[in-house]
Amino acid sequence: MTEIKKTVVVGMSGGVDSSVAAYLLKEQGYEVKGLFMQNWQNEPGEVCTSEQDFKDASMVCDKLDIPLHRANFSDEYWDRVFKDFLSEHEKGRTPNPDILCNREIKFKSFLDYALKIGADLIATGHYASTVDKNGITYLARAVDITKDQTYFLHEVSSKEFSKTIFPLSNMKKDDVRKLAMRLGLVNAEKKDSVGICFIGERNLKDFLGRFITFKSGNIKDENNNVIGQHNGALLYTEGQRQGLNIGGVKGKPELPWYVYKKDIPNNTIYVCQGGDNELLMSIRVMIDSLHQINNEELELPFDCYVQVRHLQKPILAQLKCESSNYYIDFKQPVRAAAPGQSAVIYKDNICIGGGIISKSFNSIK
């Protein structure tokens, strides 16, 4: 009796990772289909990088002899990702749209669409892995720890991961590119995308200025002295060094300046000198709520490792619940734990989940 091939729909971004993922799945005997997601509606006259990405995805699918579907999720992206992105900026927080985009688009809208066109499973080019234990699917780190993307996936649930394959889980990025070159894929040397999820590389101030009004204001040091001007406090992130345009300040050493606090009601940002300044360090954060990938009961306090930024070295920490609020206490100070960013929790190589930082605590502020 002939075994029926499972159908896998691969999210094709036009990049090298998803392209190699599709090739590997086909080599493993799956019936592979591609799906290109358009998630941003460009304005007339605007440079449209998605069209080039679609062209690259089409050429790859032609070469691999797999069909390519195209779906427009721009309305869903606007309603479920971008509105939140703007709202967080307006509150003075620093959101990470990639995390919400994964939860709402790549593992919800994409999954629903893929099932409608006959998918048994979906796949992406993320550097991540899944582990099945007793019928439960867990999110785990990729072999290439320098590219591991579980940080961006922590708000997705086990239910979605049980239908997901990560073909690059055991590959190094260099080997992915080498394989793409050997296959003659058009995007073998295409640089990795950066910037806002699905929107691409743009000047953040110019782009957000279409939706949010920015006002210039004071930059102050830790002694409340005005030492410069900014173009809008909402644009800055705690821990940020670039874009401050602070020259030599009389009586201060020639050290770089960093944002350590924002006062949004008064449109003021506060800066200090030196990347290891204590004002930049947090010993505790509070998170808005706790999302658990597997919804398994955690015995609190829970010893774990935590990242407050992608590719940050995991920090030994303890998750606690006090007065119905979740807190994470770090065993050593963590630099620039900015409200709006995510604190992601790990036990060994398993990603437990995490939450959005609502407040950070410093022993001296």
As beta bridge partners, residue 317 has 304, 330
What DSSP state is assigned to residue 191?
A: P
What is the rounded distance in angstroms from the CA atom of residue 70 to the CA atom of residue 21?
18
Q: What SS3 state is found at 171?
A: coil
What is the rounded distance in angstroms from the CA atom of residue 165 to the CA atom of residue 162?
8
What is the rounded distance in angstroms from the CA atom of residue 187 to the CA atom of residue 62?
13
Residue 362 burial (CB count, 10 A): 16
Q: Can 272 be counted among the known catalytic residues? A: no
- CB contact at 8 A, 101 and 110: no
- CB contact at 8 A, 139 and 150: yes
Active-site position among 101, 304, 321, 351: 101
Beta strands 342-347; 302-307: pairing state? antiparallel
Output the furthest CA–CA distance in the chain (Å, rounded). Answer: 83
What is the rounded distance in angstroms from the CA atom of residue 277 to the CA atom of residue 281?
7
Best CA proximity match to 140, nearest among 356, 354, 355, 352: 352
Which own/partner pairs from 175-184 qualify as long-range (CB within 8 Å, at least 24 positions apart)? 176/16, 176/17, 176/20, 177/16, 179/20, 179/23, 180/16, 180/19, 180/20, 183/20, 183/23, 183/63, 184/63
DSSP H stretches of helix in 277-356: none
Active-site position among 48, 61, 197, 272: 197
Q: Can 48 be counted among the known catalytic residues? A: no
What DSSP state is assigned to residue 205?
A: H
As beta bridge partners, residue 329 has 284, 318
- CB contact at 8 A, 352 and 292: yes
The residues that are catalytic are 101, 197
